[in-house]
Amino acid sequence: MGTANNLESFSFGPAAVFDPARFELCDLGIALEPSFRIGRAERILVMGSCFAVRVAQALRALGLDASDGGLQLKYNAFSMLQELRWCLSGGFGAAHVLFTPEGRWVNPHRHPARLRATRAEVLDAHLAAQRSARELLRTADVFVLTYGLIEAWFDRVCGLYTNEAPPIAANHDWSKRFELRQTTHAQNLEAMLALVHLVREANPRARFVASVSPVPLKATFCGPDVLVSNCASKSTLRSALHEAIPLLREEGVPIDYFPSYEIVTLAPRRDEAWRAQFPDGAPDGRHVRDDFVEHGIMQLFLRSYLEPDTRLDAQPALLPAAAETLGTLP
């Protein structure tokens, strides 16, 4: 900025002034001011996409009780909010699953949206996960929320957003039922606030860590360029969280932002942060390397939020390869 010539007249913290030497650090030397700590006996519910999965892996390896409750990956704020509403109040049912022209059933509200032979199979799997998550939702001490994207499909029949793109190419009628929406800052802000309010109503002691997934879009429905669309997606989510967190804090909600997105996207050497290929040798380039997660993102998270006796510092490498899981991240 052009006003940087008189910095000596002001008082700044050690990380508040740009220093190119920070790019030599795996975690960029980012300074955090966590508003709470996580104790060894506390229960943690993770929800969202890649970062939530990685947090759960690392915390479980340290012996902590961290789980997604069986809800699996959720990619947008609206599907996250809807899932929690279903867990607490019910409502998910036959109207929300699709019958394909090939005679199979698919659930666009669950990841992965596998084809099943019967509608009962699809419903039972999702309802079982909701029952499992309900108790955790009401008792968890900490919620780790990771928001992934803003492109979302709206089901006009049910009046809600799906978690994944419906296979509309397989059924012409579905192209009339489902509408693609590039959701806005205001819409995502509203959903983020509603999600926290919903959780706090059911679980008044809940604390929150929110982040934006650094993993870029695999493809964009709002083209023409996936890189440009990804920038719009992540910027919108980051901006919405930037506004949501102080609003929630004013209400007395303990909630922090964790900069996993910034740590990865600002890494000066792409080959150190991003995985070149999947474990099976297929091209990747979108998912973050396990060692970068462990030594950059998770070290900072654990140093900031875990009580000293549960930190990762003195532990061996704890993050499993989890090739099957990583291959499904957003």
What CATH number should be reported for the domain holding residue 207? 3.40.50.1110
According to DSSP, the β-strands at 105-106 and 98-99 are antiparallel
> Dihedral of CA 270/271/275/277: which sign?
positive
* pTM of the shown model: 0.89
20 or 1: which leads in pLDDT: 20
- The three-class DSSP label of residue 73 is coil
Is there a domain that residue 303 lies in? yes
Give the confidence band of 5 by pLDDT, cuts at 50, 70, 90: low
For residues 16 and 30, give the distance between their C-alpha atoms in angstroms, rounded to a whole number: 9
The token pair that represents 307 in the structure block: 């009580």
- Residue 251, token pair as written in the block: 């209400």
Q: Is residue 234, in this structure, part of any structural domain at all?
A: yes
pLDDT tens readout for residues 88-146: 999 999 999 988 888 889 899 998 777 888 999 999 999 999 999 999 999 999 999 99
Whether 251 and 180 have beta carbons less than 8 Å apart is answered as: no
**Listed range (57-71, 164-178, 257-271) with the worst mean pLDDT:** 164-178
Q: Which residue has the tokens 């079982």?
A: 128
DSSP secondary structure letter of residue 283 = B
Smallest Cα–Cα separation from 167: which of 95, 115, 121?
115
Token pair for 68: 């997604």
CB-facing half-sphere around the CA of 196: CA atoms within 13 A: 26
Decide if 126 is inside a domain.
yes
Q: What range does the domain containing 173 cover?
A: 33-326
Question: What total number of domains does the chain contain?
Answer: 1
Instruction: Give the CA-trace dihedral at 202, 261, 26, 270, to 10 degrees.
Output: 150
Instruction: Report, as an integer, the average pLDDT of 33-59.
Output: 88
Residue 91 belongs to some domain of the structure: yes
Within a domain: 282: yes
Cβ contacts of residue 163 below 8 Å, gap of 6+?
Answer: 73, 74, 75, 76, 79, 83, 108, 109, 110, 111, 113
pLDDT per position as a tens digit, 191-222: 999 999 999 999 999 999 999 999 888 899 99
Query: Quick one: pLDDT at residue 86?
Result: 96
Residue type present at position 260: S
Q: What is the pLDDT of residues 263-319, one digit of tens each?
A: 999 988 888 888 888 777 776 888 888 888 888 888 899 889 987 765 555 454 444
CA distance 70 to 47: 10
**Token reading at 189:** 């802000």
End-to-end alpha carbon distance in the chain: 34
**Confidence (pLDDT) at 310:** 52
265 part of a folded domain: yes
Q: Hey, what are 271's tokens? A: 């080959």
User: Residue 19: its pLDDT value, please?
Assistant: 84
Residue 239, class by beta-carbon neighbours within 10 Å (0-12 exposed, 13-18 middle, 19+ buried)?
A: middle
DSSP 116-166: BSSHHHHHHHHHHHHHHHHHHHHH-SEEEEEE--SEEEEETTTTEE-SS--
95 found inside a domain:
yes
Which H or E element spans position 65? strand 65-67
CB 151 within 8 A of CB 233: yes
Residue 4 falls inside a structural domain = no
